[in-house]
């Protein structure tokens, strides 16, 4: 598949503190890429550099064939960014927020796009209500819809479900998955391991400024040894399991090999780095 984002040896320091120490990865078009890491790992710094909001100290990066450092205007024309906090105008209605973005971007069919997005994110009934009356989940959905005005090829979602309750988080996951199905490339940063596992086609684990592991969720799980073996026996035998095992006379119905979770992989890799 064609890589829509390429990053090579990306570096960034704040005074003497190295935040990114040579980060490299590539993202195929139409996929969901999750950058996973603890607080302070450098996830937001990476997003800010790639979205042209911050300068890098070194390295190379391209988005849709445009050089992030030399062709910032071209990059901004094909991307959109949703930060950690919803950037919506509470005085305006949901529809007016979308119209405003459309006008600022000089979109010829902004009102049509806005109405389509309101239907997509399930805010048709609340479209003419002031955003001040919206719940956190509704504001977050509107925030992402505002980022989608103009149909960008790449959307950066920086911890999009932070602060949402489980129900709204699941709704947001479905929305993000549908965006990718429709061809949008998603760059997602998150601290939620289950979020990365549920959504991402590929995951990179960022720790102390470097990528320490990268691959599909399944490939990352292969890093660790298989989990414990579960032996299933008839209920009538449960009370005698120990005795029967000792005598080697048990009839085993099934043996299941449990796979490590993504959380196991993440915590193990982080722990190994700390021990080193």
CA distances from 183 to 7, 61, 145, 155, 156 (A): 21, 21, 15, 11, 14
* Confidence check: pLDDT of 153 > 90: yes
Instruction: Tell me the CATH number at 106.
Output: 3.40.50.300
* Confidence check: pLDDT of 275 > 70: no
Among 214, 230, 229, 231, smallest CA distance to 265 is for 214
DSSP bridge partners of 35: 189, 204
- What is the structure's pLDDT at 33? 97
- What is the structure's pLDDT at 32? 96
* Confidence check: pLDDT of 202 > 90: yes
Classify the C-alpha dihedral 189-44-152-118 as positive or negative. positive
* Confidence check: pLDDT of 226 > 70: no
The answer to whether residue 195 is domain-embedded is yes
The answer to whether residue 142 is domain-embedded is yes
Per the prediction, the chain carries an average pLDDT of 87
CA distances from 18 to 25, 81, 191, 275 (A): 19, 24, 21, 20
For the residues 131-140, what does the mean pLDDT come to?
91
The answer to whether residue 243 is domain-embedded is no
- What is the structure's pLDDT at 63? 98
Structural domain of 136? 3-224
* Unique residue bearing structure tokens 């400024």: 209
Q: Quick one: 201 exposed, middle or buried, by C-beta within 10 A (0-12, 13-18, 19+)?
A: middle
The answer to whether residue 135 is domain-embedded is yes
Q: pLDDT tens across 52-77, in order?
A: 999 999 999 999 999 999 999 999 99
32-36 and 185-190 strand pairing: parallel
The answer to whether residue 230 is domain-embedded is no
State the first-to-last Cα distance of the chain, in angstroms, to the nearest integer. Answer: 36
- What is the structure's pLDDT at 256? 58
The answer to whether residue 260 is domain-embedded is no
Q: How far apart are CA 152 and CA 57, in angstroms?
A: 27
pTM of the model: 0.79
Angle at the Cα of 191 from the Cα atoms of 143 and 183, rounded to 5 degrees: 50
The answer to whether residue 41 is domain-embedded is yes
Residue 167 or residue 225, greater confidence: 167
Overall number of domains in the chain: 1
Using an 8 Å Cβ cutoff, are 198 and 205 in contact?
Answer: no
Classify the C-alpha dihedral 28-29-33-35 as positive or negative. positive
- What is the structure's pLDDT at 276? 54
* Confidence check: pLDDT of 263 > 80: no
Residue 218, Cα to own-chain centre: how many angstroms? 16
Q: How far apart are CA 164 and CA 95, in angstroms?
A: 22
Q: pLDDT tens across 92-107, in order?
A: 999 999 999 999 989 9
- What is the structure's pLDDT at 260? 72
Within 8 A by CB and 6+ apart from 65, the residues are none
The answer to whether residue 52 is domain-embedded is yes
- What is the structure's pLDDT at 229? 56
User: What proportions of the chain, in percent to the nearest 5, are helix, strand and coil?
Assistant: 40, 25, 35
């Amino acid at each position: 598949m064609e890589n829509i984002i390429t990053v090579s040896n990306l570096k960034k320091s704040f005074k003497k503190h190295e935040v990114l120490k040579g980060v490299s990865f590539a993202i195929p078009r139409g996929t969901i890429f999750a950058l996973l890491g603890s607080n302070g790992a450098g996830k937001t710094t990476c997003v800010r550099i790639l979205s042209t909001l911050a300068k890098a100290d070194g390295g190379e990066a391209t988005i849709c064939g445009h050089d992030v450092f030399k062709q910032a205007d071209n990059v901004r024309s094909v991307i959109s960014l949703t930060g950690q906090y919803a950037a919506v105008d509470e005085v305006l209605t949901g529809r007016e927020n979308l119209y405003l973005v459309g006008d600022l971007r000089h979109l010829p069919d902004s009102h049509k796009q806005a109405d389509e997005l309101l239907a997509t994110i399930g805010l048709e009934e609340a479209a003419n209500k002031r955003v001040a009356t919206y719940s956190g989940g509704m504001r977050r959905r509107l925030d992402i819809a505002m980022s989608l005005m103009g149909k960008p090829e790449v959307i950066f979602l920086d911890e999009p479900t932070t602060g949402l309750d489980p129900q709204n988080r699941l709704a947001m996951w479905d929305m993000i998955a549908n965006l990718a199905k429709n061809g949008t490339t998603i760059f997602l940063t998150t601290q939620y391991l289950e979020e990365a596992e549920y959504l991402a086609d590929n995951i990179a684990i960022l720790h102390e400024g470097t990528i320490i592991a990268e691959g599909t969720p399944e490939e990352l799980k292969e890093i660790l040894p298989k989990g414990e073996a579960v032996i299933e026996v008839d209920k009538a035998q449960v009370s005698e399991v120990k005795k029967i095992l000792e005598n080697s006379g048990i009839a085993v119905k099934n043996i299941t090999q449990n796979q490590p979770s993504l959380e196991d992989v993440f915590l193990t890799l982080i722990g190994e780095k700390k021990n080193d």
